[in-house]
Structure 1
Amino acid sequence: MSLMLRPSDIYYSQSSISNHFSSPYIPIGETLDDLCEGRLSVYDIDSITVAKHNGRWITLDNRRLWVFRHLEILGKCDKIPVVQTTRVPYFRLTSKCDGDDIEVRGDPGGTWYNTSSSSAVASTILTGLGIGALLLASVIKKD
């Protein structure tokens, strides 16, 4: 089944990810750059697979979710297409923070990542508080 979900409504299944995609070798931050600069569309990237686990959407496609969450932080996407599956294998659930955040092993590369990660409000979405809190934080930050 195909759905549209906000990246911030999807949680990571792992505690860490590699800083690049495997085939072909592309740093995840460069993929974010390609999306931000219009060289790629959200629809050019394979949909992530999600499953409901304890009432939350969880994915095994953690690197793609990292890219999509940063794209959302930057205001470059609202929802992404996802494919629903029945479950995430228990042994793949290695997150130590309920999937709210993920560690990138190494430098993700790219330039847009630095823009989104340098913002104090980036952690708002990464902790699942949503766009409303992000907007409030950006208003407060301007004052």
Structure 2
Amino acid sequence: MAKTSLDPSQIFYSEATLRNTSWDGKLIGEELDDYMNNRQNIGAIPPLPVTRHNNNWVTKNNRRLWICQHLQRLRRLNMIRVKIENFVPSNMQNTITIIGNVGGRWASRKANDSYLSEVLTGVGVGVLGVLGFALLRSLLR
């Protein structure tokens, strides 16, 4: 498979959760600290497996992506080596189209979600709230 480099902030998570410990029991924060304090070589981070899914780069290694994105935020890493593979994470087949950390919050889109229904629901709730406020205000006068 091809190898290249990508900006970690341009890679999406394949799941809405990640393991907080590695296979050997090391906490994710401890591993980040090891890179920050030069106890582990940032250049030795293995290539991150990625694939194209709905025109986005997605990884099946959420834990390593989390570490790389934090190293980038802390200005210790600009690009990460990636290994481009052909895979579709099992939880993304048919349902999840995009998952990523947006502004510190997890966001996901399901293939069967409708933006229109979300917008209409949000607009409906907003309109009802404004109408309710106006009615209450007129009753209190």
TM norm structure 1? 0.65
Instruction: Supply the AA of the counterpart residue of 1:62.
Output: N
Where does residue 92 of structure 2 map in the other structure?
93
Where does residue 52 of structure 2 map in the other structure?
52
Q: Is the 8 Å Cα contact of residues 18 and 63 (structure 1) preserved in structure 2?
A: yes
Q: Is the 8 Å Cα contact of residues 15 and 96 (structure 1) preserved in structure 2?
A: no
CA distance in 1, matches of 2:92, 2:21: 20
- Unaligned 5+ segments in structure 2 are 108-141
Q: Equivalent residue of 2:40, what SS?
A: coil
- Unaligned 5+ segments in structure 1 are 103-122, 128-143
Where does residue 16 of structure 2 map in the other structure?
15
Where does residue 84 of structure 1 map in the other structure?
84
Computed over aligned residues only, the root mean square deviation of the Cα atoms, in angstroms, reads 2.6
Question: Which residues of 2 match residues 92-131 of structure 1 at below 5 A?
Answer: 92-93=91-92, 98-101=98-101, 123=103
Instruction: Supply the AA of the counterpart residue of 1:18.
Output: R
Instruction: Supply the AA of the counterpart residue of 2:13.
Output: Y
CA distance in 2, matches of 1:35, 1:42: 6
Shift of 1:100: 1.4
TM norm structure 2? 0.65
Q: Is the 8 Å Cα contact of residues 48 and 64 (structure 1) preserved in structure 2?
A: yes
CA distance in 1, matches of 2:27, 2:86: 30
Runs of 4+ in 1 over 4 A off after TM superposition: 94-97
Instruction: Supply the AA of the counterpart residue of 1:21.
Output: S
Q: Which of 1 and 2 has greater Rg? A: 2
Query: How many positions carry a matched residue from both structures?
Result: 105
Deviations 1:69-120 (A, max 9, x none): 111111110001010002323x232997822129xxxxxxxxxxxxxxxxxx
Q: Equivalent residue of 1:58, what SS?
A: strand
Where does residue 43 of structure 2 map in the other structure?
43
Shift of 1:42: 2.4
Call closer, same or farther: CA 1:38–1:101 in 2, change over 3 Å: same
